[in-house]
Amino acid sequence: MSRHVTLFHCPHTRSSGVLTLLEELGADYELHLMNMHKGEQRQPAYLAINPMGKVPALRHGETIITEQVAVYLYLADLYADAGLTPAVDSPQRGTFLRWMVFSGTCFEPAVVDHALQRAPVEPSRSPYGDFATVLDTLAEHLQGRTWMLGDSYSVADVLWGTALNWTMAFGLIPERPVFRAYVERFLARPAVQRARAKDVALAESQKAE
């Protein structure tokens, strides 16, 4: 089966991380570009792809994949030969899956609640515990490691490099030295720079429309 995929993409959104991942994987892909500022992701054509009206969404043949982490994991397995995901029988597989899922189950809800200044609840009633513990857990894991899996760069680093860069840029989390050093390593990667350049060009083209 062909590995050609289509990414439904709005520049400077969550789908930018998937664009970065596609570049890292050397994937065969095309972009279905939408203008978020014109609300194109809320039009019937795209709602037929993802009724939530969110990006990213991915099409592979007749299969539609939505939800950020699901898209990352699907691509990781589709392009397993790129060497950016541990094999199922690898000792690193569990660590990889842990941190992929941690982003959506703990990090994102903690950041959103904190940003909206929602009153904290007892840790036993919260799906993530508390904001400080989430950040401490992540920082402790990154301390002394180059990447999420140690010395090996993986799909998890595309997810986390993108997330930490974005949340620090907007002041949603404190800029700890361990986070900043990790993000700087991520941003220095050629594939990341290619994807960021593409996103800037796409955003500029939409402004000119």
Same structural domain for residues 33 and 108? no
Asked if 112 and 92 count as a contact pair (C-beta separation under 8 A), the reply is: no
Same structural domain for residues 122 and 200? no
> pLDDT tens-digit profile of 113-135?
999 999 988 888 899 999 999 99
Same structural domain for residues 107 and 185? yes
Same structural domain for residues 61 and 115? no
**Residue 59 is part of a domain; what is its CATH number?**
3.40.30.10
Q: What is the identity of the amino acid at 8? A: F
CA angle 150, 155, 161 (to 5 degrees): 75
Assess whether pLDDT exceeds 90 at residue 84: yes
> pLDDT tens-digit profile of 31-57?
999 998 898 999 999 999 999 999 999
**Residue 184 is part of a domain; what is its CATH number?**
1.20.1050.10
Position 156 confidence tier, pLDDT thresholds 50, 70, 90? very high
Which of 200, 199, 209 has its CA nearest to residue 15? 199
Return the pLDDT at 207: 83
What residues make up the domain containing 198? Answer: 5-84+192-208
Return the pLDDT at 157: 98
Average pLDDT of span 82-106: 97
